[in-house]
Structure formats: structure tokens, C-alpha cells
Structure 1
Amino acid sequence: MNPDEPQVSHMSPNAASAPPDKQSLHYIIRSGLAGGIAGCVAKTVVAPLDRVKILFQASNPDFQKYAGTFTGAYRAGREIYLNHGMRGLFRGHSATLLRIFPYAAIKFMAYDQIHYVLMPTQAQETGAKRFLAGSLAGVTSVFFTYPLDVIRVRMAFETSPRLVNGAPVHPSFLATASQMYKEGARSLPPTSYFNRFPILKLYRGFSVTVAGMVPYAGVSFLSWGYLRSTFLPPDKAMHRPPTPIADLAIGAMSGLAAQTSSYPFEVIRRRMQVGGITRPDRWLRWGETVTAIWKSSGWRGFYVGLGLGYIKVVPMTAVSYTVWQSCKRLLDI
């Protein structure tokens, strides 16, 4: 080789910046890790609000007097703090993290994969495909992690410790799961699905959850994708990656839209999930749950705690998307 001759690179000018193979095991694992971390960080930020919201949605008798106002949420949180300390505001959070890591990991990982299959190029992206990808990702994650959510809700719903040998015992994850597994064993007939398949007790409200997840995850990812493509198009952001502030703003707007579209389903789901406490003798169904809410509160009953839901979901979604994107950058995917 002549040292005086100019060296010619045979590498494609775009080789150094070639996009990652989104169907490789390397990408899938890192995508799931980024999603799991994002979910845990976001849920921790809003855990006290989540505890209060569950008490309102499930009509806990000790806290119904506070439901319906923003100041009521503050007073409910203050009562929990005064009676049980900071741990009271985070009761059930261990179960939340145990659930949210696989839930968020599966959701974001599934969305990446489904998005790639449906929309391998930017030119093929449409609102309908974004909605479908988000809905399928949400339903997939719920299917695998739903029992963990039911146990978490039950732990958060119980405001008074049970007495065991005269000593107060706060609900633990395993104790709550065991209690739910045994509920209704004596009061239900042997032919009951609950007695034949006790695992079904951990899937109370599953059908309404899936029905609510379709608009929630679908609208959330639809809004996220649409807003990013509108305000942060790749051709303009290629040399300046989106900032965390931009991710936070777009994530917040996505959370607002998703929460509004799916909130009635969430209220129905919470009522059905705590059915083992309120009606341990049988399985609460869609129709009677909807009827009970309508008779007691009218249409407003389906939106109880919505203001608190906004306060919780908007920052949670913003943080979740922001941490997800930041982790993907750090993990080089």
C-alpha cells in the first residue's frame, strides 16, 4: 500500500449510526429493562396518591367522607400519615413494585416489538396502528401481571390491621395472596368455579381491566407517538435528541388523554377487585357493579377520584416515558 495515496474507506457513511436490530435478543432484553425501571420510578413518585385513590375508588367506608374534593384527598392522606406514618402512605407499594417491573417491562418491550412489526418505517406510521400497538402491548402486560395488581389493591384497601393472637398484623404480600386464595371456600358450593379453580380469585375484574386497558394504553401510545412525530420529527431532532423536558411534557399530555378515556373502567375494576372483602360469597359481575355505582352516585360515581387520578397519572406517565427514553439512550438502543 502506498502511504502517499489517500485512504478510501469502504464502510458505508451510515454504518456507524446504523439503527439497532429491534428483534435481536440484545435489544429485547434492554428494552424490557428500560421499561421496568421506568415503571418503578414512576410508581414510586405517585405511591401516596395511588393509596388514597384506591381507597376512594373502592368506597372504603373509613374514607368515603373525604371523597369528591381535592382537599379531601389531602385530608385522607394526612389521616393515614398521622395514624400509620409514612409507611401507611406506601402500604402495598412492595406489591406494586413487584408487579410494576414485569408489567412495565412487558408493556414497553411488547410495544417496541409490535410497533416494529406494524410500522417498520416512519412512513408507515398511522394513528390507527399506534393505537393498535399500544392496546396490544397493554393487554399483553396485563395478562401476565394481573394477579399482582389485585393483591396490591387488596393490601392498599385494608386500613386497619388484623388481630392475630391479640397483636395487630399489617397485611403482607404473601398473607394477602393466601387469604384471597382461601376466601369463600366454605360459603361457596363445591361446584363453584372459585372452589374448582381458586386461582381465578386473583383475576377478579380481569375482563373490565382488559376493556379499560384497550383505550388507556392505546390512547397513551397514540398520543405519545403523534405528539413526538409532530413536535420532534426525526429529521429535525437527528442531531439534537429530545430533551427530558420535552419527554416530560409529551408524556404528561399522553397521560391526561389516556386517563380521561379509560377512567370509568378503572372505577368498575377497583370495585370488582375488592369484591372478596365486600362480597366474599360470590363473584361480582360487570352488570351489578355498574348498577350499584349508578344507583349510589349516578354518572358521577364513575368519575370519583378523577381529579386525584389526573394528579397521579399525568406526572406518573410523564416520568414513565421520560425515564424509559433516558434508559434506552443509556443502554444504547
Structure 2
Amino acid sequence: MKSTEVADVLKLFLAGGVAGCCAKTMIAPLDRVKILLQAQNEHYRHLSVTSAVTAVVKKEGFLGLYKGNGAMMIRIFPYGAIQFVSFEQYKKITQSWLGQDSHIARLIAGSGAGVTAVLVTYPLDVIRARLAFQVHGEHYSGIIHTFHSIWHQEGKMKGFYRGFIPTFIGMIPYAGIAFYTYETAKRFIVEQGPRFLSKPSPSQPDERVLSTACNLVVGGVAGALAQTISYPLDVARRKMQLGHMLANPHQFGSWLQVLLIVYQRHGFKKGLYRGLSINYLRAIPSVSVSFTVYEFMKQLLNIQSKQKGS
């Protein structure tokens, strides 16, 4: 790999990491409430989304909405960085096989990027979920203590990959659809859409990029579609991640068991899709900001791809 290519990969890594951090910081309070509702926390499970937000502030203070966010930031920078770098690399490979106009190439590249990122950063997601789920520090006192406890009490590395299978399976449609929808819509708008929806690239004036407002809308639509399809698997992932923090954790032996138990006990709407409304509130702006900041960083760092339609 040439030095210029290495430099571009490092810039993409920075752009992806910054994009991820900006997106997650903005929706951290909603992310925490989503975890509490998804996993049926005893303090909040009877509440609606808006009531839960109010109750968290009342019970734990305003900073309670950001509980576990430190672990999230440690995780999300490499997650965002690896995801976007992987997508750019997988896109080059799949397009060389299937052609630049291939919809399948974009879908495969997006799925591969999501799976790669989650594989590397999953242990930090487990730690973050544990910290976000507790209310008064009943189990863990911080990131290091959580890591130490899981390592020694739950089978070392095995404990850090609880719920990985539904995460892995869910990430395939989630990341695939998110990246595919965004990339396809972006390409269509730039090439065939009204001119006011795009603008000349600051770094490459002969190319056009989406306007900021259009970027936000397209990213939001991509996030909504991806979350709707993969949400039940996200519920299973959270249940398995929380492990010993839940009552009768032994019953959650596999992700299929989790889905079946949740459905039998709580049904479709109040079980498998419990917390979906708040997930829309967090996922749509999160994905929207993530794609928008990433595109902005690519332009700022002068790494806008020269490939057609990218």
C-alpha cells in the first residue's frame, strides 16, 4: 500500500471516529432510556418513554441520562472508525467484482463493515450496557470494575461476548440496509436529483456532494429502515449482554430462546418491539448525524473519493 493510501486510510479512520462520537453523544440520554426499557428494568419498565426520561432525571439526576456514556465513547470512536474504513475498503473490493453500479456490492460492503466493527468493539458495548442498566451502582462502580467482574465471574472473554450471535445476525441487515440506503439515495440525488439538493464538493469542485440538510434527511431515512428490520435482534442482544443483572439469567441460553421468551411473556409490540419508539428518536438522528459528519470530515480532510457515485 502506497504512503498516500495509508494516509487516506488514517484520515478515514479519524473521520469515522469523529462521526461516531458526535452521533452517539447527541443521543446518549435516549440510548440509556432505551436500554432501561428494552431490558425491563424494575425501576422504569412500567413507564413510557417520556415518563422514563423524567423519572431518570428525578431519581438519578441529569447526569443519570449519560450513565455508561464514558464506556460508549471509548467504544464508539474505534467502532465508527473501523466501520467507515471497512466500508470504503469492502466497497472497493465488491465493486471490482460486481461493478460500480451493483446494488449487491453496496449491500455486502455495508454488512461487512458493520460486522467487522462490532466484532472488534463488542466487549466495550457489553460494559456500557451493564453500566447503563443499573440505577444506583448496585453491581458495578465503573468501567474497570465492570471489566474485572465480567472477566473473573463470567468466563473471561466468553463473558464479554454474551449476546454476540444476535448482534452479529442483526448487524448484517442493519448495517447493510443503512449503508445501502444512504449510498444509493446519495448517488441518485447527486446524479439525477434537483440541483438544490446538492452542491460542489469543497475539496473537488468538479464533483457534487449532498447539501447538509439533504444529508441529514437521507441519513435519517437510512437509520429508520435499518432499525425497524433489525430491532427484535437488538432486544435479544441487550437481554443476553445484561446476563446476571436480570432475574433468572440461566433461561437466556441462546438468542432464539430470548426471542421466544420475550414474545411469550410480553408479545410482539410490548416485547420484541418494546422501546422501538425511543429507538426511532435515537436511531434516526444518530445515523443522520453520523453520515453527515463523516461526509463533512472527508471533505475537510480532502479525502472525498474520486470514484463515480461514491
TM superposition score normalised by structure 1: 0.82
1:60 aligns with 2:30: no
Of 115, 120, 124, which residue of structure 1 is paired with 2:100? Answer: 124
CA distance 1:260–1:22, shift in 2 (3 Å): farther
The answer for the alignment partner of 1:210 in structure 2 is: 168
Identity of aligned residues (%): 36
- Is the Cα–Cα contact under 8 Å of residues 252 and 258 in structure 2 kept in the other structure? no
Q: Give the superposition deviation at 1:199.
A: 1.1
Q: Give the superposition deviation at 1:123.
A: 5.9
Of 168, 171, 179, which residue of structure 2 is paired with 1:221? Answer: 179
Of 252, 269, 276, which residue of structure 1 is paired with 2:220? Answer: 252
1:42 aligns with 2:23: yes
- Quick one: distance in 1 between partners of 2:4 and 2:237? 34
CA distance 1:120–1:175, shift in 2 (3 Å): same
- Is the Cα–Cα contact under 8 Å of residues 154 and 274 in structure 1 kept in the other structure? yes
- Is the Cα–Cα contact under 8 Å of residues 32 and 66 in structure 2 kept in the other structure? yes
The answer for the alignment partner of 1:241 in structure 2 is: 209
The answer for the alignment partner of 1:102 in structure 2 is: 78
The answer for the alignment partner of 1:166 in structure 2 is: none
Return the letter of the residue paired with 2:253.
Answer: L
CA distance 1:150–1:22, shift in 2 (3 Å): farther
- Is the Cα–Cα contact under 8 Å of residues 135 and 213 in structure 1 kept in the other structure? yes
1:76 aligns with 2:57: no
1:179 aligns with 2:179: no
Return the letter of the residue paired with 2:13.
Answer: G
Q: How many residues align?
A: 290
Q: Give the superposition deviation at 1:181.
A: 2.0
- Quick one: distance in 2 between partners of 1:296 and 1:43? 31
Question: How large is the RMSD of aligned CA atoms in angstroms?
Answer: 2.3
- Is the Cα–Cα contact under 8 Å of residues 115 and 172 in structure 2 kept in the other structure? yes
The 5 A counterparts of 1:139-178 are 139-162=115-138, 171-178=141-148
- Is the Cα–Cα contact under 8 Å of residues 38 and 324 in structure 1 kept in the other structure? yes
Deviations 1:98-143 (CA, angstroms, capped at 9, x unpaired): 0000001000000011111222599623211111000001101111
Return the letter of the residue paired with 1:265.
Answer: L
Q: Give the superposition deviation at 1:320.
A: 0.3
Deviations 1:215-254 (CA, angstroms, capped at 9, x unpaired): 0000001101110111112997645432211211110111
Q: Give the superposition deviation at 1:82.
A: 1.6
Q: Give the superposition deviation at 1:311.
A: 0.6
Return the letter of the residue paired with 2:219.
Answer: G
Task: Name the SS of the counterpart of 1:241 in structure 2.
Answer: strand
The answer for the alignment partner of 2:13 in structure 1 is: 32
TM superposition score normalised by structure 2: 0.88
- Is the Cα–Cα contact under 8 Å of residues 19 and 293 in structure 2 kept in the other structure? yes
Q: Mean Cα displacement is larger for which, 74-83 or 227-236?
A: 227-236
Q: Give the superposition deviation at 1:283.
A: 6.4
Q: Mean Cα displacement is larger for which, 50-59 or 277-286?
A: 277-286
1:284 aligns with 2:253: yes
- Quick one: distance in 2 between partners of 1:156 and 1:38? 22
Of 211, 216, 241, which residue of structure 2 is paired with 1:273? Answer: 241
- Quick one: distance in 1 between partners of 2:297 and 2:159? 36
The answer for the alignment partner of 2:266 in structure 1 is: 297
Structure 2 stretches lacking a partner, 5+ long:
201-205, 304-310
- Quick one: distance in 2 between partners of 1:22 and 1:39? 26
Return the letter of the residue paired with 2:283.
Answer: V
The answer for the alignment partner of 1:16 in structure 2 is: none
